[in-house]
Amino acid sequence: MSVATSWRYPEIASSYPEIASLAGRDFLTLADLTSAEIWGLLAVSRDLKARHKTRRDPALLKGVVAGLLFRKPSTRTRVSFEAGILQLGGHSLFLTDRDLQLSRGESIRDTAAVLSSYLDLLVVRTFAHAEVEELAHYATIPVINALTDRFHPCQALADVFTIWEEKGDLRGVTLAYLGDGNNVAHSLLMAGAKLGMKVRVASPPGYAPDAQIVEAARAAAGATGGSVEVLEDPREAAFGADCLYTDVWTSMGQEAEAEQRRRAFLPYQLNDELLKLARPGALVLHCLPAHYGEEITPSVAYSPQSAIFTQAENRLHVQKAIMAALLSGTGEA
């Protein structure tokens, strides 16, 4: 469990009191955050994005050394974290299994203890969610989940930030996710529920999101006026939606199931026919990388309604907000 860092960057906490409670904490799943904390992170993201556009990035991570422990390859996650840390005045170290003694059997507990003595922040992209939980348990610095098989909270925060920018609000907005009930779907369910959105997930039998996560999202939606639906019919999910979202059918580690998954998910392809069922001007979203001709067609991905590359850019800004919030405090800078 991380410990509070009371000496860093009180201006963040004072300017955005909604996120003062995030100082020194971990960021593993949006289920751990209140609705007010998520809204606060969105507000900081908007501020940091506006500053970046005019080259006025604040040095909120000056003197910070962040470790990026990645067990999975990455484009957006690695580059956006490294660029964001640099833009805020910090320094990052990219670490893989080959760089650490984890590859030779050193325990996660010992790794967490040692890295905590060298670093100010640890960003982890791995397979099992239990691994990032164990690292966070033993680390004395904040740990950020940059993707596990169960959750992808940084992506979901960038997604709702993108929708907020494009639609002007999130409350009452209908988001239809089509495809695998995976880590992205899990985090979208929680983000949308906590922000008052109407989230629909349409998946083939056997690929629905985890039932416990769905129930937790429904409970959260009950407090915000949102709603959660899990469906099998992609047309029903798409009908009248404000946003249509999809993801790859086969994630890393599932390559042996690729052909089986293609057959199961073919009716869930985000194409022109499904887009016509949505509300006029509906937003098209995809967390990338995309397999064009599988989960999404090029005509939809590159249409005027697509916000796919804005989504990708927004990973940079929301992750800067997360890091600044976790490293903010209430004492003297």
The CATH number given to whatever domain includes residue 190 is: 3.40.50.1370
- Which amino acid makes up residue 156? A
> Which member of 154, 186, 243, 287 is catalytic?
287
pLDDT greater than 90 at residue 242: yes
Residues 100 and 196 in one domain: no
pLDDT greater than 60 at residue 331: no
- pLDDT band of residue 333 (cuts 50, 70, 90) is very low
Annotated active-site residue 109? The verdict is no
pLDDT score of 5: 46
- pLDDT band of residue 16 (cuts 50, 70, 90) is confident
Residues 210 and 77 in one domain: no
Residues 70 and 178 in one domain: no
Let me know if residue 261 belongs to a domain.
yes
> Which member of 125, 129, 186, 286 is catalytic?
125
Per-residue CA distances from 63 to 301, 326, 328 (Å): 40, 15, 13
Let me know if residue 332 belongs to a domain.
no
Residues 139 and 160 in one domain: no
Let me know if residue 26 belongs to a domain.
yes
Range of the domain at 128: 10-151+315-326
pTM of the model: 0.94
Q: Which residue has the higher pLDDT, 251 or 314?
A: 314
Q: Kindly report the number of other CB atoms within 10 A of residue 49's CB atom.
A: 18
Cβ atoms of residues 303 and 282 within 8 Å: no
Work out the percent of the chain whose per-residue pLDDT is above 70. Answer: 93
Strand partners, 199: 175, 228
pLDDT score of 101: 83
Residues 179 and 198 in one domain: yes
> Which member of 155, 269, 305, 311 is catalytic?
155
Annotated active-site residue 155? The verdict is yes
Residues 245 and 114 in one domain: no
Annotated active-site residue 262? The verdict is no
* pLDDT tens per residue, range 194-241: 999 999 999 999 999 999 999 999 999 999 999 999 999 999 999 999
Q: How far apart are CA 318 and CA 45, in angstroms?
A: 5
Annotated active-site residue 305? The verdict is no
Residues 81 and 178 in one domain: no
> Which member of 78, 129, 150, 315 is catalytic?
315
pLDDT score of 228: 98
Let me know if residue 5 belongs to a domain.
no
Work out the percent of the chain whose per-residue pLDDT is above 90. Answer: 86
- pLDDT band of residue 7 (cuts 50, 70, 90) is very low
Domain count, the chain: 2
pLDDT greater than 60 at residue 2: no
Q: Is 69 helix (H, G, I), strand (E, B) or coil?
A: strand
Q: How far apart are CA 319 and CA 152, in angstroms?
A: 12
Q: What are phi and psi of 160, to 5 degrees?
A: -70, -30
Candidate from 5-19, 37-51, 317-331 with smallest mean pLDDT? 5-19
> Which member of 120, 150, 247, 305 is catalytic?
247
> Which member of 129, 152, 261, 286 is catalytic?
152
Q: Kindly report the number of other CB atoms within 10 A of residue 48's CB atom.
A: 25
Annotated active-site residue 125? The verdict is yes
* pLDDT tens per residue, range 116-155: 999 999 999 999 999 999 999 999 999 999 999 999 999 9
Q: How far apart are CA 283 and CA 308, in angstroms?
A: 9
DSSP class of residue 292 equals B
Annotated active-site residue 247? The verdict is yes
Residues 276 and 226 in one domain: yes
pLDDT score of 125: 97
Let me know if residue 46 belongs to a domain.
yes
Task: Report residue 64 as tokens.
Answer: 């910070």
Report the chain's mean pLDDT, rounded to a whole number.
93
